[in-house]
Chains A and B, each alone.
Chain A
Amino acid sequence: MSFEAISNFVAAILTLFIFSFLYKDNPFYKFAEALFIGVSMGYAIPLVYENAFMPFVYTPIFVEHKFIIIIPALMGSLYIFRFTKNLSWLSRYPIVFGMAIVGMGVPMSIHSSVLVQMRSAMLPMDNINTIIIFIGTVTILLYFFFSKAHRGFYGKVTNVGVWFLMVGFGASFGYTVMARISLLIGRIQFLVGDWLGLIK
């Protein structure tokens, strides 16, 4: 039996263990679930050690003698104190440095998510798409304006916004169904094709 056949067999059995949950909760499902978590962690820890700790902590300090690295390394190790009740406040210091990224992200996010998006909603209304985008954007924004009661003509306009939102939710739901079915198809393709060899 080749290595591929053995690995396919193990993967197929574990897939069936997970699928068995659809019938009802059982020890086989629990076993496969625990094994998955264990294997993921077992795989991630040496990978992170090899790709993060060794090149960015060990090698600079002990091989290249860049002792300045000791300061951020110690700072980072303060994260471990999250697990103690009395000293958990120490973990806030490395978090503070991490928050600098948020500061950098604010102007860029405003640019990409607000300014550029606004500009693309201000196109000349010379085709049906831009007209729909304009009506959708304005009516939805009005719907989320709560300082005025949604009654009368204003209420009718915000209702149009609700319809646009419903179309958006419908599209999201449709895509979600497609995604979930795709995942099932992927697994069944593996079982029926790679394992049983029934797909030509």
Chain B
Amino acid sequence: MAKLNVFDRMQKLDRRWIYLVVALAIILPLIIPFNSKTYVTEPTENVYKKIDSYAGRTDRAILMCFSHDASTMAELFPMEVAILRHCFERKVRVLTICFMPAAKPLMDYAINTAKEDYDVQSGVDYLSFGYKPYSLFLITLLGMGDDIAEAVETDDQGRKIENLEIMKEITNYNEMNLVIDFAASAAVYSWIVYARARFGVNVAAGITAVMAADNYPYLQSGQLIGMLSGLKGAAEYEKLVDIFAMNKDEYGNPDPREFSKEIIKESWIKLSDIENRKYKTARIGMNAQTVAHVMIIVFIIIGNIGYFVSKNKENHIG
């Protein structure tokens, strides 16, 4: 019987050992955290800048559309919380909606998680339109271009939205001029095709990494004003909120800063200094992601070396 070399043995390795190594590569960096640097990309910056430009304005609002269920919560939930935190901190009016039954509890959970630390009121600072059946998606989407109060009518508590404080200066996409769709599917495409093309509304995407490559062409053509891609996008946004929106002066009082690339370069945030874990979830996750990626690259290199060694051996035998 021919003696197996190390590469032959690896090719016959039980895949459950690989699962164990992957689990350890993720668990250890989570328990023993380190500060992996988060580089902020332009699509994320653009979303931040757009939202921040509405700070303190009562005649502007953003719409967050939750188009995902719990299966992709790990990637999308941290970005939703980061954006809501940004809005609550900078007094940007937020409207939320979902067209999937399974998205409703996630939408409520995101709002409740972010508002814990702020004195914000439903109907004044934010408003949840609640769950609307998917069959009404297009009717609602197009209807909001004319009159939101007519297209949606009631919020998730059954109140007529036209009577609410938050809607006093918000009529249609002219005021609700940014839609961010959080999706693990092509849902954002509908906003581009119908809301962007028909009404010229600014559309941004908070999407799972799987969907990112598909959406880059829309980013390049300007049909998406910005994009948060997976856990990395969420980590970038968390960082921007900490650097700019949450900036404090020397006495510890809130002192939000204007966006600047120079400040991003100079800023170094130690994760252990942020007390509340909900505001650094994505960045902690990216520590584990970094280690897991290095491990996968090593696996791919070893696998390829093994493949060529085995092929070379077969050629010699042949």
Contacts and interface: CB of A to CB of B under 8 A. Distances in A.
A67 interface: no
Contacts, number: 136
A108 B213 contact: no
A65 to B, nearest CB: 19
Interface size class of B (residues with CB under 8 A): 35 or more
Contacts of A179: 75, 208-210, 230
Contact of A105 (B130, B193, B288): B193
Nearest to A194: B277
B130 A51 contact: yes
Interface stretch (B143-151, B220-228, B251-259): B220-228
Interface string B68-80: 0001111101000
A192 B213 contact: no
B285 A185 contact: yes
Interface stretch (A113-121, A140-148, A155-163): A113-121
A111 interface: yes
B118 interface: no
Interface string B217-239: 11011110000011110000000
A168 to B, nearest CB: 7
Nearest to B280: A199
Interface string B95-120: 00000011011000000000000000
A40 B71 CA distance: 12
B131 A51 contact: yes
A175 B272 contact: no
A117 B214 CA distance: 13
Contact of A184 (B26, B72, B135, B223): B26
Interface of A is mostly: helix
B289 A181 contact: yes
Contacts of A44: 101-102
Interface stretch (B37-45, B170-178, B194-202, B306-314): B194-202
A199 B292 CA distance: 18
Contacts of B303: none
B192 interface: yes
B130 A188 contact: no
A183 B217 contact: no
Contacts of B135: 52
A117 to B, nearest CB: 5
Contacts of B214: 172
Interface string A171-192: 1100111110111111111001
Contacts of A135: none
A187 B31 contact: no
B219 to A, nearest CB: 10
Contacts of A56: 133
A87 to B, nearest CB: 22
Contacts of B130: 51
10 contacts: A40-B102, A47-B101, A51-B131, A108-B194, A112-B196, A116-B223, A176-B209, A181-B22, A182-B230, A182-B285
Q: Which 3 A-B pairs have the closest CB atoms?
A: A186-B74, A120-B221, A179-B209
